[in-house]
Amino acid sequence: GDSVTQMEGPVTLSEEAFLTINCTYTATGYPSLFWYVQYPGEGLQLLLKATKADDKGSNKGFEATYRKETTSFHLEKGSVQVSDSAVYFCALSEGMLTGGGNKLTFGTGTQLKVEL
């Protein structure tokens, strides 16, 4: 079945450092890929997405490129801020659940802590 593997956290960085959070996936078909962010005490918010190979999703300075050849969707940001401290989830949507609806598969999440 589908699966998503993310790097273990927590990841602790100094402000203005470069961020990479690795994500690889296993899917039988051709999924859409997502990064969600969860700030403390809040729900998941869609950060960016990509729907086909070589697509680059970007938002708020974060980027991720859909790499079909390596089945990866790594999240990057050139200069992190304290306000980026959150948990980041990689996810894929490949097909339909029984009876309809989107089947979303999530990674376990990576906590990012950014310090001054």
Question: Does residue 62 bind another protein (CB under 8 A)?
Answer: no
Task: Quote the CA–CA distance of 25 and 18 in Å, as a whole number.
Answer: 23
Least Å distance, CB 81 to another protein, is 23
Alpha carbon 85 to its chain centroid, in Å, reads 14
- Residues 92-111 within binding reach of another protein (CB under 8 A): 93-102, 104, 106-109
Q: Which is nearer to another protein, 101 or 116 (CB)?
A: 101
Instruction: Give 89's strand partners.
Output: 36
Task: Quote the CA–CA distance of 77 and 18 in Å, as a whole number.
Answer: 6
One of 45, 79, 81, 83 touching another protein (CB under 8 A) = 45
Q: 46 in helix, strand or coil? A: strand
Question: Does residue 88 bind another protein (CB under 8 A)?
Answer: no
Question: Does residue 34 bind another protein (CB under 8 A)?
Answer: yes
